């Protein structure tokens, strides 16, 4: 998760309406994909990391600094959906997303698909990274 936070840090305040998120995909103890939310907010961190990981994502662990989205304003597949499609087995999420389009729905979608989900790893640091984003929903 520390690496995911490091990836997200440079984008803080530079991702439009979206928070800056980091995602690291690990398979058998090796990083196979990593990414951060692009400047302007698209693509999302999970999309970047999964594109890099490719088939190596199947059965892997994802470390994400913010709960993966459950719905996209663009109508594209959500990050929780693409994590499932790529076969992620376990997701560590630093902090839940307070946005009304997510607010627990991303983690629930992962769980419903059989993905192990743990929330809270380095949550304080992830929340601090996107303090302005959280302030608008608190």
Are 69 and 23 in contact, with CB atoms under 8 Å apart? no
Cα 86 to Cα 103: distance, rounded to the nearest angstrom: 23
The neighbour count for residue 132, using CB atoms within 10 Å, is 9
Both tokens of 77, joined, read: 């597949």
φ and ψ at 60, to 5 degrees?
-90, 175
With residue 76 as reference, give the H or E element that holds it. Answer: none
User: How many helices (H) does the chain have, and how many strands (E)?
Assistant: 6, 5
DSSP conformation class of 127: H
Could you tell me the maximum CA-CA distance found in the chain, to the nearest angstrom? 38
Among residues 6, 34, 46, 47, the one annotated as catalytic is 46
The answer to whether residue 46 is catalytic is: yes
Question: Active-site positions?
Answer: 46
């Amino acid at each position: 998760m520390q690496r995911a936070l490091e990836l997200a840090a440079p984008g803080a305040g530079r991702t439009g309406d979206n928070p800056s998120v980091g995602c690291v995909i690990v398979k058998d103890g090796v990083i196979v994909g990593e990414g951060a939310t692009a400047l302007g907010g698209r693509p999302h961190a999970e999309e970047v990391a999964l594109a890099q990981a490719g088939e190596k994502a199947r059965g892997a662990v994802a470390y994400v600094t913010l709960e993966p989205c459950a719905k996209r304003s663009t109508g594209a597949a959500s990050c929780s959906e693409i994590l499932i499609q790529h076969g992620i087995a376990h997701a560590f999420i630093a902090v839940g997303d307070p946005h009304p389009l997510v607010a627990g729905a991303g983690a629930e979608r992962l769980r419903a698909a059989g993905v192990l989900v743990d929330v809270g790893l380095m949550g304080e640091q992830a929340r601090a990274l996107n303090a302005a984003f959280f302030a608008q929903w608190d």
